[in-house]
Amino acid sequence: MRCTFVEKPLDQIEADIEIVFVIDKRLDHKWVADKELLEKLGFKGEVEEVCLLPEKGQLYVGAKLEHDEIRIAAAKAVRALKNKDYKRAKVGVYIQNCPITNIKAFVEGALLGRYEFDKYKSKKKPHPLKEILIANEEYADKPFSPEHAKKSVAEAQKVAQTVNFVRDLVNSPPNEIYPERLAEIAQDVAQRYELECTILDEQDLAKEGMEAMLAVGRASVHKPRLIHLTYRPENPKAKVVFVGKGLTYDSGGLSLKPSDYMVTMKADKSGACAALGIVEAAKRLELPVEVHAILGAAENMVDGNAYKPDDIIKAKNGKTIEVRNTDAEGRLVLADALCYAQEKVPDLDYIVDIATLTGACVVALGEYTIGVMGESQELKEKILAAARSSGELAAELPFNRYLPKLLESKQADISNISSSRYGGAITAALFLKEFIEEKNHKRWVHLDIAGPAYVEKEWGYNPYGASGAGVRLAIKWLQKEYVFSKNHP
88, 113, 142: which is the final residue of a domain? 142
**pLDDT at residue number 97:** 87
Residue 82, in any domain of the structure: yes
**pLDDT at residue number 488:** 62
Residue 156, in any domain of the structure: no
Same domain for 385 and 278, yes or no, is yes
Mean pLDDT of 382-393: 98
**pLDDT tens-digit readout, 77-97:** 999 999 999 999 999 999 998
Of all residues in the chain, what percent carry a pLDDT higher than 70? 99
142, 173, 192: which is the final residue of a domain? 142
**pLDDT at residue number 486:** 59
Residues 114, 167, 266, 331: which is the catalytic one? Answer: 331
Same domain for 132 and 180, yes or no, is no
What's the rounded Cα separation, in Å, for the pair 306 and 309?
10
pLDDT band at 123 (very low <50, low <70, confident <90, very high): very high
CA angle in degrees (0–180, nearest 5) for 372-374-377: 90
Burial class of residue 229 (count of CB atoms within 10 Å of its CB; 0-12, 13-18, 19+): buried
pLDDT band at 485 (very low <50, low <70, confident <90, very high): low
Whether 6 has a pLDDT exceeding 90, the answer reads yes
DSSP 3-state assignment of 307? coil
Whether 331 sits among the annotated catalytic residues: the reply is: yes
Same domain for 170 and 292, yes or no, is yes
Same domain for 185 and 134, yes or no, is no
Residue 489, in any domain of the structure: no
Same domain for 45 and 182, yes or no, is no
**pLDDT tens-digit readout, 288-321:** 999 999 999 999 999 999 999 999 999 999 999 9
**pLDDT tens-digit readout, 215-229:** 999 999 999 999 999
**pLDDT at residue number 194:** 98
**pLDDT tens-digit readout, 336-360:** 999 999 999 999 999 999 999 999 9
Whether 472 sits among the annotated catalytic residues: the reply is: no
Q: What is the mean pLDDT of the chain?
A: 97
Same domain for 199 and 102, yes or no, is no
**pLDDT at residue number 484:** 84
Residue 151, in any domain of the structure: no
Residue 155, in any domain of the structure: no
Q: Quick one: angle between helices 270-284 and 146-171, nearest 10?
A: 150
Whether 489 has a pLDDT exceeding 90, the answer reads no
Name the β-bridge partners of 200.
226
Residue 31, in any domain of the structure: yes
What's the rounded Cα separation, in Å, for the pair 220 and 218?
6
Of all residues in the chain, what percent carry a pLDDT higher than 90? 98
**pLDDT tens-digit readout, 160-218:** 999 999 999 999 999 999 999 999 999 999 999 999 999 999 999 999 999 999 999 99
Same domain for 108 and 174, yes or no, is no
Same domain for 45 and 86, yes or no, is yes
Residues 26, 35, 237, 257: which is the catalytic one? Answer: 257
**pLDDT tens-digit readout, 466-477:** 999 999 999 999
Same domain for 195 and 130, yes or no, is no
Whether 132 has a pLDDT exceeding 60, the answer reads yes
Taking a C-beta distance cutoff of 8 angstroms, is the pair 282, 289 a contact?
yes
Same domain for 117 and 168, yes or no, is no
Which residue range(s) make up the domain with 464?
163-482
What's the number of domains the chain is made of? 2
Taking a C-beta distance cutoff of 8 angstroms, is the pair 341, 291 a contact?
no
- Quick one: CA dihedral 479, 485, 486, 489, positive or negative? negative
Same domain for 100 and 236, yes or no, is no
Amino acid at 264: T
Same domain for 117 and 241, yes or no, is no
Residue 318, in any domain of the structure: yes
Residue 149, in any domain of the structure: no
CATH code at position 121: 3.40.220.10
